[in-house]
């Protein structure tokens, strides 16, 4: 059935198609049809907003409500206003988690997007078995996060890990990857990079394919080399795609949870290492809410994560707007 979604003058079409029934029925038909034109577009998009209200807005509001309480084991306690937030701002463990998250965000996002850019421009050439190669970069994304975490945890294992084995070959002493900030950040970022580089490359590739060929032809005539073409034609033309990937990666990076948790290992992995070397903010939220049973405080952490993401988006927006 073809549905005309245009909110045109409702009565017109009905008059022309209606082959004259009894008066009141015609009246009713016209009313329904007007209602149809005015309301059905809203009805058609309403499922999204209903679902968003139930699973998005409500939890957001409820979390804010919980964060204003001393909310422990058996549910609601006393209303304490912004106490959880003031405590949070003086909490060294929280700031440590923020630094860790931002550090890993940079380590994971920057190389990931740069490599994806190069990879995409290579895949945009005429190569043998191109479809196979393009599919190939997508394979890591199909792997489950948990599987990636487990495999990389073994690769970066202190006693029997492959990386330490290779380091040993070149005479470097084995590294306890979990024990230091820098080493654990590298290990975790490598998991994120491995999994998402191909995904971003495909987005860039799609954007690159819409660049008019004439631009490159003109550039060749002007004597521009491949690298010059890349920086002067390709990159500026896929800017919207770059902005999109930066935003998505930033949000994902702020919510980093599974990879460091699996990397952590042991009964108390949620602390992200013995000295919280690689505890992210979402891990800290989980630890406060579900290990220390301080749900009010955990909710406050959740809200501050939300605010940090919003802030980063704003910076992103201002930055990209200025660069235009």
Residue nearer to another protein on the CB measure, 70 or 134: 70
* Residue corresponding to tokens 């060929």: 213
What is d(CA 177, CA 16) in angstroms, rounded to the nearest whole number?
A: 76
Determine if 186 is a binding residue for another protein (CB under 8 A). Answer: no
Determine if 12 is a binding residue for another protein (CB under 8 A). Answer: no
Residue in 6, 16, 24, 43 binding another protein, rule: CB under 8 A? 43
Q: What is the dihedral of CA 196, 202, 203, 204, to 10 degrees?
A: 110
Determine if 1 is a binding residue for another protein (CB under 8 A). Answer: yes
Q: Binding mask 110-149 vs another protein (x if CB under 8 A, - otherwise)?
A: ----------------------------------------
Residue in 144, 154, 209, 232 binding another protein, rule: CB under 8 A? 154
Residue in 8, 12, 27, 35 binding another protein, rule: CB under 8 A? 35
Site for another protein in 194-223 (CB under 8 A): none
Residue in 7, 12, 15, 46 binding another protein, rule: CB under 8 A? 46
Q: Which stretch binds another protein (CB under 8 A): 111-119, 191-199, 229-237, 265-273?
A: 265-273
Cβ atoms 296, 70 nearer than 8 A: yes
What is d(CA 146, CA 104) in angstroms, rounded to the nearest whole number?
A: 18
Q: 110: part of which helix (H) or strand (E)? A: helix 92-123
Determine if 63 is a binding residue for another protein (CB under 8 A). Answer: no
In whole angstroms, the minimum distance from the beta carbon of 179 to another protein comes to: 4
Residue nearer to another protein on the CB measure, 50 or 141: 50
Helix (H, G, I), strand (E, B) or coil at 69: strand
What is d(CA 83, CA 145) in angstroms, rounded to the nearest whole number?
A: 36
Residue in 121, 271, 280, 299 binding another protein, rule: CB under 8 A? 271
Helix (H, G, I), strand (E, B) or coil at 238: coil
What is d(CA 218, CA 209) in angstroms, rounded to the nearest whole number?
A: 17
Residue in 6, 9, 16, 74 binding another protein, rule: CB under 8 A? 74
CB atoms within 10 A of CB 258: 16
| Alpha helix (H) residue ranges in the chain | 10-17, 23-52, 58-67, 83-89, 92-123, 130-136, 139-142, 145-155, 162-169, 181-208, 213-221, 226-229, 235-237, 239-254, 258-264, 281-286, 295-323
Residue nearer to another protein on the CB measure, 30 or 134: 30
Closest residue by Cα to residue 295 from 61, 80, 95, 73: 73
In whole angstroms, the minimum distance from the beta carbon of 163 to another protein comes to: 15
Which parts of this chain interact with another protein (CB under 8 A)?
1, 3, 14, 29, 32-33, 35-36, 39-40, 43-44, 46-47, 50-51, 54-55, 73-75, 91, 93, 150, 153-154, 157-160, 176, 179-180, 265-271, 274-275, 286, 290-293, 295
């Amino acid at each position: 059935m073809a549905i005309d979604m245009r909110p045109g003058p409702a009565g017109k079409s009905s008059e022309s198609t209606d082959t004259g029934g009894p008066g009141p029925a015609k009246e009713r038909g016209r009313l329904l049809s007007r209602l149809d034109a005015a309301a059905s577009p809203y009805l058609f998009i309403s499922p999204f907003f209903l679902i968003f209200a139930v699973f998005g807005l409500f939890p957001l509001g409820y979390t804010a409500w919980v964060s204003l309480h001393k909310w422990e084991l058996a549910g609601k306690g006393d209303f304490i206003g912004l106490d959880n937030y003031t405590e949070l701002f003086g909490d060294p463990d929280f700031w440590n988690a923020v630094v860790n998250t931002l550090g890993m965000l940079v380590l994971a996002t920057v190389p990931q997007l740069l490599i994806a850019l190069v990879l995409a421009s290579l895949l945009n050439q005429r190569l043998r078995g191109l479809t196979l190669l393009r599919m190939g970069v997508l394979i890591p994304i199909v792997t489950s996060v948990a599987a990636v975490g487990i495999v990389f945890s073994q690769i970066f294992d202190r006693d029997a890990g492959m990386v330490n084995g290779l380091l040993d070959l070149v005479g470097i002493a084995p590294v306890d990857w979990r024990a230091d900030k820098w080493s654990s950040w590298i290990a975790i970022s490598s998991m994120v990079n491995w999994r998402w580089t191909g995904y971003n490359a495909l987005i860039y590739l799609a954007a690159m394919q819409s660049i008019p060929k004439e631009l490159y032809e003109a550039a060749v005539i002007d004597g521009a080399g491949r690298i010059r073409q890349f920086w002067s034609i390709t990159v500026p033309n896929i800017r919207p795609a770059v902005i999109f990937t930066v935003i998505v990666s930033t949000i994902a990076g702020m919510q980093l949870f599974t990879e460091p948790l699996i990397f952590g290992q042991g009964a108390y992995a949620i602390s992200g290492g013995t000295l919280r070397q690689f505890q992210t903010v979402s891990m800290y939220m989980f630890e406060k809410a579900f290990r220390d049973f301080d749900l009010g405080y955990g909710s406050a952490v959740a809200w501050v994560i939300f605010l940090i993401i919003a802030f980063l988006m704003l910076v992103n927006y201002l930055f990209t707007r200025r660069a235009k």
